[in-house]
Structure 1
Amino acid sequence: MKKIFDLRSKKGKSPLGSFTIPGRDRGHHRTSFQPGYHIRDRDLGKIHKAASVGNVAKVQQVLLLGKNGLDDKDKMNRTALHLACAYGHSAVVALLLERKCLLNLCDSENKTALMKAVECQEEECATLLLEHGADPNVVDVNGNTALHYAVFCQNISLAAKLLSYNANIEARNKDDLTPLLLGISERKHCFCKLTQLPEGDVISLFFRTALILAVNYESLNVVSLLLQRGADVFSQDVFGRTAEEYAVINSLNYKPQRAANHHN
């Protein structure tokens, strides 16, 4: 006989129960989602202006005349590559890559061009960067990686691409959240699509904290997925509680049932 979740929640019950999320309940949730950049002409060099509007010819001219260097930063520490990626100008990105620009320079929030491309959902730019060796595991000022942003934006395609280029699926930000846990805490339900990702990478995340978070947020589709992939409902968190116990707290109707292939 095997216990499984009966995935129904009772109306009127707080999805948080007695559970707290690091950072969020202290008022310091650290997911800074700011697609694009605030552009002011006085902050930009000539190459930055040209890159931000996708003017390939102007970028070439600026470089040829030596008015700016390839990796020069503006007043916000952004390179031409940052700005081209943020606004999806893949032709400018390709030119800068051809000229051997530095890939992993960081802006004032410690975001790389790759991180900005992911945050702004510019998949073509992100792909070009990855193909040329951009590091997917640089962390921003809040400890987030490009994979955190891909998950936060519910972009399974970008998440899978980052993983194929060795993005660290276990990376934890300053709230101690992996990309998966960040998504669950933000109620991002793209995780039912995680079966598209490599088996080994997915299984490595499907353990105690992920399941417990999913239960506490009543993310029933995520709970179902985790159970299908073999998450242990009896593993304890740092408070000594199991997913089963949190299910009781949150009235998720956790009850003994026989497996479907078990005969009475």
Structure 2
Amino acid sequence: MKKIFGFGIKERTPLGFCDGNRSTSLQSGNENIDSHYWRNFYAKYKPKEKLHKAASTGKVEKLVSILDSGKIHVDNRDKKNRTALHFACACGHVKVVTFLIANDCEIDLCDSDNSTALIKAVQCQEEECATILLKHGADSNIEDVSGFTALHYAVCNGNSPMVTKLLAYNANIEAKTKDYLTPFLLALRESKVHVADLLIRKGANIHALDEFRRNALMYAVRCESKDMIALLLQRGIEVSHQDGFGWTALQYAAASHSR
């Protein structure tokens, strides 16, 4: 009988929006991605070509020797289309990045995930490398296979200074991922409220909707930020807005509190 009437059965929100563990592999604040993530990342990003090995280990002298031979081009790619610049940026070797740019490498080449060296630098929180690339004209609005730009990754890392710098170099504050997440919505999804607040101050559209027509108020409810909820209400966000499932922010709040 209990099963028929649902007694004792906890109601689930659409697609688990307010259910279960909300954490991702990313930590809060300005901390780095957790060590397990990094071990997996570097295992997958292990260079095999001698040019790329030299770049990933910061050996400028070795790079000079390799390129002076004339047999290997500065933009040689591996099987995943990664260049020496990708490896140097992912590993944070500023001198190598500077050397490669001085030797006319292509700054915006994409690997097989459509990631540029700038995206790798931002993902890995190598801010000095990212700054060098931006100063030399790197395109901050190239999207990887998930539709993420460098700005999205800076948001995921909770890296406010990097977010500010990218915006100063014309990063699109309204760029959308394949899930229609703007940097602002992504900041709320990842509970990076301090970054969401920064993006609002930089002019982010608070009325943006994701692929399920969820608005920022719903995301603020999800990350349980009373300050963000208050700010959004103050700025006139639509309280009665219904998402693609017919739910309002108030319904998500009630479901969240009943967990």
Counterpart-to-counterpart distance in 2, 1:168 and 1:240: 30
The 8 Å contact of residues 184 and 196 in structure 2, kept in 1 or not, is answered as no
* Equivalent in the alignment of 2:3: none
State which of 61, 68, 72 in structure 2 corresponds to 1:64.
Answer: 68
The 8 Å contact of residues 170 and 205 in structure 1, kept in 2 or not, is answered as no
Compared CA separation, residues 21 and 146, structure 1 to 2 (3 A): farther
TM-score by length of 2: 0.75
Compared CA separation, residues 20 and 168, structure 1 to 2 (3 A): farther
Compared CA separation, residues 46 and 130, structure 1 to 2 (3 A): same
Alignment of structure 1 residues 92-241 onto 2, 5 Å: 92-191=96-195, 193-194=197-198, 197-198=201-202, 201-202=203-204, 204-205=205-206, 209-238=215-244
Counterpart-to-counterpart distance in 2, 1:232 and 1:119: 33
User: Whose RCO is larger (CA < 8 A, sep 6+)?
Assistant: 1
Compared CA separation, residues 192 and 142, structure 1 to 2 (3 A): closer
- Higher helix content, 1 or 2: 2
* 2:105 counterpart SS class: coil
Counterpart-to-counterpart distance in 1, 2:257 and 2:42: 44
Counterpart-to-counterpart distance in 2, 1:39 and 1:235: 43
Compared CA separation, residues 40 and 102, structure 1 to 2 (3 A): closer
Counterpart-to-counterpart distance in 2, 1:54 and 1:83: 10
Aligned partner letter, 2:71: K
In the comparison of the two structures, how many residue pairs are matched? 229
Give aligned-pair identity as a percent: 48
Query: Structure 1, unaligned stretches of length 5 or more?
Result: 1-13, 253-264
When the two chains are superposed, the root-mean-square deviation of aligned CA atoms in Å is 3.2
Query: Structure 2, unaligned stretches of length 5 or more?
Result: 1-9, 27-32, 210-214
Aligned partner letter, 1:18: T
More displaced stretch, 82-91 vs 52-61: 52-61
* 1:18 lines up with 2:22 in the alignment: no
Q: Kindly provide the CA deviation profile for residues 188-216 of structure 1, in whole angstroms up to 9, marking residues without a partner as x.
A: 33336516952xx23x2355611222113
Counterpart-to-counterpart distance in 1, 2:207 and 2:130: 27
